[in-house]
Amino acid sequence: MEKVKKQIVEQLVSGTINRDESRNLLKMDPKDPERFWTYLDVLQDRVSWTDKILLRISDHLYVVKKEETGERLVKCDCGHELGDYRANWKTATNIRIRDTKEQIDKVYYPATAAPEPEWNEVREFFCPTCFAQLGVEVVPPGYPLIFEFLPDLDRYYSDFLGRPLDDEKDDWYENHTDKRTAQWL
């Protein structure tokens, strides 16, 4: 069975892969069964910390298993930790809200594509340490923060990858956002 070279996956992740190579990846039949592990290796090589990456959430964010405590945390590539992955990471960011036409127009072009401030606000989420923009959402004012991604990691690793995690437990796949926000009251 054909295996994808790590170097090709590195190029894919960094966006430097050429058109022919990316086309070859798309056409592979069957797909390389090791591709997820190679991908994790490539991601791990790109960060300066050693907590094990379990899954990538977005350009900057990862779910990791913290070495010292065994917690599953959301971590920015800069090393900043955004807490237990079961709570919406947005609650641990710096948030800028654009809720006037003037503020919204600064980030929309053409103006006709911009959301109307009477109906929507634009929320931008930033890492408190490296200030990378981690996400954006456009929602009606007062709408709860959207929790975009709560993966069932135990099931993904055991049922889909065939390599169960060694710290499986029943309450990993639960939304704990309310527990975090309750601490603020």
Residues found near Zn ion in the complex (CB under 5 A): 76, 78, 80, 127, 129-130
* CB 6, min distance to Zn ion, A: 25
Nearer to Zn ion, 25 or 43 (CB): 43
Q: Residue 184: count other Cβ atoms within 10 Å of its Cβ.
A: 6
Q: Residue 88: count other Cβ atoms within 10 Å of its Cβ.
A: 24
* CB 129, min distance to Zn ion, A: 5
Nearer to Zn ion, 62 or 157 (CB): 62
* CB 45, min distance to Zn ion, A: 18
Nearer to Zn ion, 80 or 172 (CB): 80
Helix (H/G/I), strand (E/B), else coil: 135: strand
Nearer to Zn ion, 17 or 73 (CB): 73
* CB 132, min distance to Zn ion, A: 5
DSSP string, 49-105: S-SEEEEE-SSSEEEEE-TTT--EEEEETTS-EEEETTS-GGGGSEEEEE-SHHHHH
